[in-house]
Chains A and B, each alone.
Chain A
Amino acid sequence: MSLLDMIGPVMIGPSSSHTAGACRLGLVAHHLLGEAPRRAVIGLHASFAKTGRGHGTHLALVAGLLGYAPDDPRLPRAFEEAEAAGLGVEFRDVDLGDVHPNTAHLEVQGDSGRVTVQGSSTGGGVILVTHVQGLGVNFSGAAPTLLLRYTDAVGMIARIAATVAADGVNIATLTCTRAARGGQALVAIELDAPLSPEALSFFGRWPDADWVRLLPKLMDG
């Protein structure tokens, strides 16, 4: 929480939680997809489903998918922009269970890959991403975040941390979950600075890792 979070963000209204936060959730999916989105199915839970339309939540989520920041003047025209960009979006009301009332689940498809992201908009434009690719995570986008999916094995986190350290970058937070022992695992690491392209491509060449992304910092402060 910095001073710029208190006087800010600069944003297109009307609601920091329903609009700016929704846009940032879309932005997470945009960056994690890593290519132009072609089709998205967006599930809206509770308050997002109930009062989202009048709050521009739908527009903001689509704007985020297109890579627009919460203050982008194109945000209110996001549906037209999506059509022009060849992105088809379907909205569904969903019950995601006992989660924050402002929660969205996004499944986004590009030409070569797909990503699923679930996250909550917790107030003042702040978000908490809780699932990526179906696995549990816990990050806010306030710092550059490394996401790496790999096959669970002894010593993987130590190897990942060693590579980050060799790049001269400090780890702020780390969450790791796995579907099953020896199954797919996902680590999300919030960093004090972005990783170098060399470190990222090094991870990309790991035989045990099948998906690597660096989410840039999304918050102002």
Chain B
Amino acid sequence: MTTLHDLMNAPAPASAWVLAQDCAETGLDPQDIRAEMRRRIGEMRASVERGLASDARSITGMVGWNAKGLWDAPDALDAPLLKRVQAYAMAVNEENARMGRIVAAPTAGSAGTIPGALLGVADHLGLPDEQLVDPMILAAGVGKAISKRMFISGAAGGCQAEIGSSAAMAAAAVVELLGGTPRAAVHAASLALMNTIGLVCDPVGGYVEVPCVSRNAFFAVHAVSAAQLALAQLESFIPPDEVVGAMASVGRLMPAELRETAEGGLAQTPTGLAVTARMEGRGEEGGMIELPMA
């Protein structure tokens, strides 16, 4: 079983080692995987572009205009990387919420984090998509190493397992994109994961919209922060595999109400309950719900 420790000590580039390990295990052809990753980066790119251009409401009506709103707004902080990373992440998740085509990475609810961080940084620096193929393979390798110890769904371990994993994957990918070592990439993943432990999954009405869309924007930035720390040689004090173990144990301690059941947290606020009631009471025809707030 490949661990983060193995990955950290692999010869550079870490992605080449991940690809060789995976192909040995599955019998798949490395060139086929690289070609498919290239295609998936194109799909991510297309979902970002559609998401930035649309302000159509989602199925429930809770989200749909956030990415375009940010993208079109003046850059109040004069921080174009920050704005780009956040807008890309929300664009993907809003496209997801309106039943658009996206790449689950690793899940649909966390689909914006990796494109937000990786495509956002690449576009900010003017790097071509071809340079994203290897970092994306490393991201997948990090996700696979985490998933060997812990399920990567909010229902299994809270949002720490879902968006925590996507942020860890994204952080490692950004490090490889910027020429960091395998050790730095894995420490970036570990730092991102360490700072996500305890995060509950409390989707309003049970839908991956609130808080998921803005949460992807926050965690795409979180991943970029972790990459920046690791590229400056900062390391996770707790060894990466132990961080994953800690996350798994917190996930097991977490009550079911806080694991994607919509029975706790934001889902149980008065507004959350009102949205839930309206969605459950909806007729066969569907249609938008009326939001309780102004």
In Å, the complex CA distance between A56 and B25 comes to 34
In Å, the complex CA distance between A182 and B97 comes to 51
Instruction: Say how far A63's CB is from chain B's closest CB, in angstroms.
Output: 11
Q: Mark B84-122, 1 if CB is under 8 A from A, else 0.
A: 000000000001111111111111110100100000000
Q: Which residue of A lies closest to B62 (CB)?
A: A54
Instruction: Say how far B100's CB is from chain A's closest CB, in angstroms.
Output: 6
Q: Which of B26, B33, B152 contacts A124 (CB 8 A)?
A: B152
In the complex, chain B residues whose CB is within 8 Å of the CB of A50: 206, 280
The answer to whether the Cβ of A11 comes within 8 Å of any Cβ in the partner chain is: yes
In the complex, chain B residues whose CB is within 8 Å of the CB of A19: 99, 108
In the complex, chain A residues whose CB is within 8 Å of the CB of B192: none
The answer to whether the Cβ of B185 comes within 8 Å of any Cβ in the partner chain is: no
CB atoms of A17 and B155 under 8 A apart = yes
The answer to whether the Cβ of B137 comes within 8 Å of any Cβ in the partner chain is: yes
CB atoms of A6 and B102 under 8 A apart = no
- Count of interface residues, chain A, beta-carbon cutoff 8 Å: 37
Q: Is the interface of A mostly helix, strand, loop or mixed?
A: mixed
CB atoms of B59 and A11 under 8 A apart = no
CB atoms of B22 and A2 under 8 A apart = yes
CB atoms of B36 and A4 under 8 A apart = yes
Q: Contacts A7-B105, A54-B59 given: A13-B40 contact, CB under 8 Å?
A: no
Q: Which residue of A lies closest to B100 (CB)?
A: A13
CB atoms of B139 and A6 under 8 A apart = yes
Q: Mark A3-17, 1 if CB is under 8 A from B, else 0.
A: 111111111111111
The answer to whether the Cβ of B208 comes within 8 Å of any Cβ in the partner chain is: yes
Instruction: Say how far A57's CB is from chain B's closest CB, in angstroms.
Output: 11
Segment of A26-34, A68-76, A80-88, A144-152 in the binding face: A68-76
Q: Contacts A13-B95, A53-B282, A123-B155 given: A7-B37 contact, CB under 8 Å?
A: yes
In Å, the complex CA distance between A59 and B59 comes to 13
Residues in A61-100 with C-beta less than 8 Å from chain B: 71, 73, 75-76
The answer to whether the Cβ of B143 comes within 8 Å of any Cβ in the partner chain is: yes
Instruction: Say how far A42's CB is from chain B's closest CB, in angstroms.
Output: 14
The answer to whether the Cβ of B270 comes within 8 Å of any Cβ in the partner chain is: no
Residues in B108-155 with C-beta less than 8 Å from chain A: 108-109, 111, 114, 136-137, 139-141, 143-144, 147, 151-153, 155
In the complex, chain A residues whose CB is within 8 Å of the CB of B26: 2, 221
The answer to whether the Cβ of A51 comes within 8 Å of any Cβ in the partner chain is: yes
In the complex, chain B residues whose CB is within 8 Å of the CB of A6: 105-106, 139-141, 143-144, 147, 169
CB atoms of A20 and B205 under 8 A apart = no
CB atoms of A75 and B99 under 8 A apart = yes
Q: Contacts A11-B108, A13-B96, A20-B104 given: A54-B279 contact, CB under 8 Å?
A: yes
In Å, the complex CA distance between A73 and B46 comes to 14
The answer to whether the Cβ of A131 comes within 8 Å of any Cβ in the partner chain is: no
Q: Which of B36, B96, B153 contacts A220 (CB 8 A)?
A: B36
The answer to whether the Cβ of B28 comes within 8 Å of any Cβ in the partner chain is: yes
In the complex, chain A residues whose CB is within 8 Å of the CB of B206: 47, 50-51, 54-55
In Å, the complex CA distance between A16 and B153 comes to 10
Instruction: Say how far B205's CB is from chain A's closest CB, in angstroms.
Output: 7
In Å, the complex CA distance between A19 and B140 comes to 21
CB atoms of A14 and B209 under 8 A apart = yes
CB atoms of A124 and B107 under 8 A apart = yes
Instruction: Say how far A99's CB is from chain B's closest CB, in angstroms.
Output: 14
CB atoms of B104 and A9 under 8 A apart = yes
Residues in B59-99 with C-beta less than 8 Å from chain A: 59-60, 95-99
Chain B CB count within 10 A is highest, among A20, A51, A220, for A51
The answer to whether the Cβ of A1 comes within 8 Å of any Cβ in the partner chain is: yes
The answer to whether the Cβ of A125 comes within 8 Å of any Cβ in the partner chain is: yes
* 25 intermolecular pairs with C-beta atoms under 8 Å apart: A3-B22, A4-B37, A4-B40, A5-B144, A6-B144, A6-B169, A7-B105, A7-B140, A9-B104, A10-B102, A10-B103, A12-B102, A13-B97, A13-B102, A14-B207, A19-B108, A20-B108, A47-B261, A50-B206, A51-B207, A55-B206, A55-B208, A56-B59, A220-B36, A221-B28
Interface positions of A (Cβ within 8 A of B):
1-17, 19-20, 47, 50-51, 53-56, 59, 71, 73, 75-76, 101, 123-125, 220-221
Query: What are the nearest 8 A-B pairs in CB distance?
Result: A13-B96, A51-B206, A123-B153, A3-B140, A6-B143, A6-B140, A16-B108, A16-B104
